[in-house]
Amino acid sequence: MSKIKSSFFCQQCGYESTKWLGKCPACQQWNSFVEEIRHKETKQQTAGTLWKQDDHNSYNGVTRLQDISISEESRIISPDLELNRVLGGGIVAGSIVLVAGEPGIGKSTLFLQIGLQLQQTRVLYVSGEESEQQIRMRADRLPFSSEEFYLLTETNTQIIFQEIKKLKPQLVIIDSIQTLHTNFIESSPGSVSQIRECASELQRFAKETSTPVFLIGHITKDGAIAGPKILEHMVDTVLQFEGDRHYAYRILRTLKNRFGSTSELGIYEMAANGMKGVLNPSDILLSHKEDQLSGVTVAATIEGMRPFLIEVQSLVTPSVYGTPQRTASGFDLRRLQLLLAVLEKRGGFQFGMKDVFLNIAGGLKVEDPAIDLAVLCALLSSYDDTTIPHTVCLAGEVGLSGEIRSVNRIEQRIAEAEKLGFEKMIISRYNQKGMSKATPGIEIIPVSRVEDVYRILF
């Protein structure tokens, strides 16, 4: 006889309770509990063993730590250099990777493209959202083809593992984890218990067969990964696919990685024939214009471990209405208000009756404090309607007292600016202590106060 059990799950963190609670004791969220009916078989074979060739249960005994032999983990080197970068050098055998992003950002297109590029690897692409004809139409637009790429449109994990047992793929891509369901739990696909159970079965399959698995996931309206928080703990790597659908550039960011650094990111450009990796983002993000305009500066920033240069644009105009406007795109609005307060207090510039608009070119969202100096100079340039030479690059954090503070990895920023042909770079005076004695091929101008920057540029 089957046992029917009803439980209450928190939709935010996956906390389980036998009764309804108004406030989750784990994540402190209110009104987040939903009742789910679970149905478990007592004697049938679970989905976690369907891929095995026999019915013998494997048992791992106790092993002394010194007796365990270690070796370099085997990786599948993808032709996609940006994916190799964020994964730490390639796809690790037996790893399970969660990829999340907004709808329409290009997750399915990217991993369909990666599966077609791996021509020597048997890839199984499981889709629960699109039909076979839809995927074939999208694949025809991509300039890649593979004889070892197989497609399965199914959402039942029992059927998926039966097909896996027949095909024996070397890489599995699931699109998406929120559409899968198992017969051993009576709840709708996308619920907490279904996501947790399906992810657990896939994790067990990946570890026991050393087959890497990619899980494509959804995000909530707040930007967090949909599903219980335990989903992020179960996987080995969590990748976030970011970007604005109105811009051509996408960022693949590493949030968790058990096999590499979490400071890596890959940059893609959306084109008509798929995603193209951007090897030199600085050259693309900087506009190549002949006319010099006021309010435009170039900042040396670092995203993850990659240094690149971005263009900061500002516009300061007299306010027509009583309350001046403060608008920032790609930059923290509170940080912009802080820099305006520093200019008013320490520099004597009157921004109180001015509308201020700030934009980071290319649709990027930058949180690096090293672009403070470039934002401040862009504001002053537009305020005075004075152009800043296009051969000048800036990197520095601005403090509340008007001092220019040092930033990390300044030598990589200088090398990137020198590679792109900049002649001068303004940095903090305190960054000179940690620099090597090698003389860069670019003129370094150290400053310590906002007044020094204004005296040099204006």
- Side-chain-side CA neighbours of residue 96 (13 Å): 21
247 with 137, same domain? Answer: yes
Q: Which two tokens stand for residue 243?
A: 């970007």
pLDDT in tens, 42-56: 434 455 556 665 544
316 with 337, same domain? Answer: yes
303 with 431, same domain? Answer: yes
The residue type found at 289 is K
272 with 393, same domain? Answer: no
Local confidence band at 187 (pLDDT 50, 70, 90 cut-offs): confident
302 with 349, same domain? Answer: yes
**Closest to 453 in 3D by CA, of 394, 412, 410, 399:** 394
On the question of pLDDT at 336 being above 90, the answer is yes
CA dihedral sign of residues 243, 248, 252, 253:
negative
Output the pTM of the full model. 0.78
Range of the domain at 201: 76-277
Residue for token digits 């055998």? Answer: 93
Query: Domains in the chain: how many in total?
Result: 3
269 with 293, same domain? Answer: no
The percent of residues above 90 in pLDDT, for the chain, comes to 47
Enumerate residues 6+ apart whose C-beta is below 8 A from 163.
124, 152, 154
**Closest to 407 in 3D by CA, of 379, 380, 435, 443:** 435
192 with 293, same domain? Answer: no
**Residue 176, preceding bond cis, omega within 30 degrees?**
yes
Quick check: is 61 in a domain? Answer: no
Alpha helices in 321-367 (DSSP H): 333-342
Quick check: is 14 in a domain? Answer: yes
Give the C-alpha separation, 110 to 119, whole Å. 16
On the question of pLDDT at 41 being above 60, the answer is no
pLDDT in tens, 261-302: 887 888 898 888 888 888 888 877 777 666 678 999 999 999
Mean pLDDT score of the chain? 86
Local confidence band at 18 (pLDDT 50, 70, 90 cut-offs): confident
Cβ-based neighbour number of residue 360 at 10 Å? 22
Task: Determine the pLDDT at residue 56.
Answer: 46
Quick check: is 425 in a domain? Answer: yes
Give the C-alpha separation, 358 to 339, whole Å. 12
* 249, 277, 305 - which closes a domain: 277
β-strand partners of 316:
356
Quick check: is 58 in a domain? Answer: no
Give the C-alpha separation, 303 to 364, whole Å. 11
- 51-78 burial, b at 16+ Cβ within 10 Å, e below that, comes to bbeeeeeeeeeeeeeeeeeeeeeebbeb
CB 423 within 8 A of CB 443: yes
Local confidence band at 321 (pLDDT 50, 70, 90 cut-offs): confident
pLDDT in tens, 111-161: 999 999 998 899 999 999 899 999 999 999 998 888 999 999 999 999 999
Enumerate residues 6+ apart whose C-beta is below 8 A from 314.
295, 296, 356, 357, 358, 359, 375, 378, 379, 381, 382
Task: Determine the pLDDT at residue 8.
Answer: 86
234 with 380, same domain? Answer: no
Task: Determine the pLDDT at residue 159.
Answer: 93
Q: Taking residues 169-178, report their average pLDDT.
A: 93
On the question of pLDDT at 328 being above 50, the answer is yes
Residues annotated in the binding site for ATP, as ranges? 101-108
142 with 291, same domain? Answer: no
Residues annotated in the binding site, as ranges? 101-108
Task: Determine the pLDDT at residue 438.
Answer: 63
29 with 169, same domain? Answer: no
* 277, 306, 335 - which closes a domain: 277
Task: Determine the pLDDT at residue 235.
Answer: 94
Task: Determine the pLDDT at residue 362.
Answer: 78
156 with 198, same domain? Answer: yes
Q: Which two tokens stand for residue 67?
A: 């007796």
pLDDT in tens, 337-396: 999 999 999 888 889 889 999 999 877 888 899 999 999 999 999 999 999 998 999 999
